[in-house]
Chains A and B, each alone.
Chain A
Amino acid sequence: MRNPPAIVIENLSKHFKSLKAVDKISLSVESGEVFALLGPNGAGKTTAISMLCGLLEPTSGSANVAGFDVAKEKLSVRRSIGVVFQQPSVDDLLTGKENLEMHAMLYGVPEEKRKARIADMISLVGLAGRQDSRVKEYSGGMRKRLELARGILHWPKILFLDEPTVGLDPQTRTHIWEYIAKMSRREGTTVVFTTHYLEEAEKFADRVAIIDQGRMIAIGAPGELVNSLGGDRVCLTSKDPGRIAKKLGRMTFAKNVRIGGNCVSATVSCPKKNLPKLIRALPAIGAIEIHVATLNDVFIKYTGREMREDSAEGGFMERIMNSGNDR
């Protein structure tokens, strides 16, 4: 018998005065999968996650997390989830181990199991040597690892990660994801994370929901979403673009043929197989530029805009949060 979905969201919305931070999002997350909420900064991802964690009241709609209603069964929801926030929320003045001990008490980890579980988590994230140092002395990557250990400490069914690798260097980012994968596979945890990094969603998520301006504009496995574009965009320069374009037009795997100056572009499906055929059939090409389709192109297809890749964190999001706090 298949497990019920870990999360079911129906028409979830959050309005702040005049701003619709989250606008009628509906989706479900399967038990055990790694699910990404992808979108530019200010899209509403953090607001959505805050509602799922029971930290923020929805304006309308419903959400069912681990089988519990986020509006009516808050304590049960909180017991079933672990959260790793974007900003570090471990206590600087306590040691790594003390932070985990406090967490174990707050989440009701049975006393006889605490010591072993904490030791297990600490070694899982490779902090065994530094567990008795104050977090003040930890590097950014170490703090993140501690937060990961803390998030899973109480055997949650779902782990929420809000922008898990923002501010970390690329090498640390890969390590963090190795830990997340290791932990979730071992414990069967469902992982839901928000990000504005395309590659992160493409590489690590089983399914992605693309969020823009509070609305969900696409959902599916990264591969499927990209394939729905129909292939890679290829740009061929030649001295006779007209002739090339005509020949391209007759090839079944090339669509959307366009001429721009001396460049002919087309969308080529199954590029791995078809590009060699294309090159053999069109000998008079000066240069080829291949643009491999990514989730960014999916975003452009639905919104007409690029997803900004810069990691500016303040500004817009802060304004939303502040406007929400003034009552």
Chain B
Amino acid sequence: MRAKDESAAEGWLAGRFGLHVCDGGMNVGFFDGVYAIWLREVKVFFRERERVVSAIVTPLLWIIVFGGGLGASVEISGMNYQTYIFPGILSMSVLFGSIFYGLYIIWDRKLDFLKEVLVAPVDRSAVFLGKMLGGMSDVFVQVGALLLVGALLGLVPSVWAGIGALLVAMLVSMCMVSLGLIIGSSMKSPEGFNLVMSFVMWPLFMFSGALFPVDTLPAYLNFLVVLNPLTYGVDLMRYAVLGITTFGILVDVAVLLGASLLFVAIGTRSFERMTVG
């Protein structure tokens, strides 16, 4: 049996003599795997132009029409309503963009593309990380585009505010992309999309303080706000752009990191248990 390269020879040896040759390539393989999947996600994102465009249009409508329309007659916390909700709308685009991205894994499955990845000798955690970083990159581009438009509308006070917003977006998307991947990997068909929209995305958005201050809700709904990771994301985003915060940035970062770690752990396990018939 002619061995074509090192790994084939090792494999042959292991098979021939029952040895387990320690594959030093394992660690290199992990990051290669993450990179390979991240690269694919980014390429696909930019080549599906409809996705990029539609991801930006909706938030823009919210800012310009809803924010501008209400902003003409409403003020909150002493500032123009449109200015107030801009960080909230940025967070909304992070939320929707991240969860939709995670749900797209259903298409990977339907098209059997996922099988190719599942049968490859990569750790499932590498697959999960690659997918997560891919989602975060997509969100980065979306938020970046929204910030540019926001800057034109005078809603971004400074360059630092913009950079801060991007950093917050990355932290929030790490959490939300993982959540989206968890949901997506347990769904069998796209028919469930609407359910996820109605029972996950809209509630997370509505109870996050994106559109109005959190303390104005009645007490029996308040606990939903407090338990919602996005609430802290919105708060942190508002701090980055406008300098105001309700919970304090340490609490915000701690909650977001904690939720992210939790979702990454669950998501990795969910990927590990994925089987294909």
| Chain A interfacial positions (CB closer than 8 Å to B) | 3-4, 31, 46-47, 50, 53-57, 66-68, 75-76, 78-81, 83, 85, 87-94, 98, 102-103, 105-108, 110, 113, 134, 150, 155, 157, 187-188, 320-321, 324-325
Contact = CB atoms under 8 A, between A and B. Distances in A.
Contacts of A108: 7, 25, 28-29, 32, 121
Nearest to A92: B111
Contacts of A50: 276-277
Contacts of B25: 108, 110
A69 to B, nearest CB: 11
Contacts of B37: 102, 106
B196 interface: no
B193 interface: no
A85 B188 contact: no
B271 to A, nearest CB: 13
A55 B15 contact: no
B117 to A, nearest CB: 7
Contacts of A134: 47
Contacts, number: 125
B40 A157 contact: no
Give the size category of B's interface with A: 35 or more
Given A105-B35, A108-B121, A155 B8 contact: yes
Contact of B119 (A54, A94, A113): A54
A106 B115 contact: no
Given A103-B120, A106-B117, 9 more contacts: A4-B16, A79-B11, A90-B116, A91-B40, A93-B43, A103-B116, A110-B5, A155-B4, A187-B4
Interface in B25-64: 25, 28-29, 32-33, 35-37, 39-40, 43-44, 47-48
Interface in B236-256: none
A53 B116 CA distance: 11
Contacts of A66: 11, 15
Nearest to A160: B119
B121 A79 contact: yes
Given A94-B43, A113-B5, A78 B11 contact: no
Contacts of A54: 119
10 contacts: A55-B115, A55-B118, A68-B14, A78-B119, A87-B111, A89-B112, A89-B116, A91-B44, A108-B28, A155-B5
Interface in B83-104: none
A57 B274 CA distance: 11
Contacts of B119: 53-55, 78, 81, 83
Contacts of B48: 93
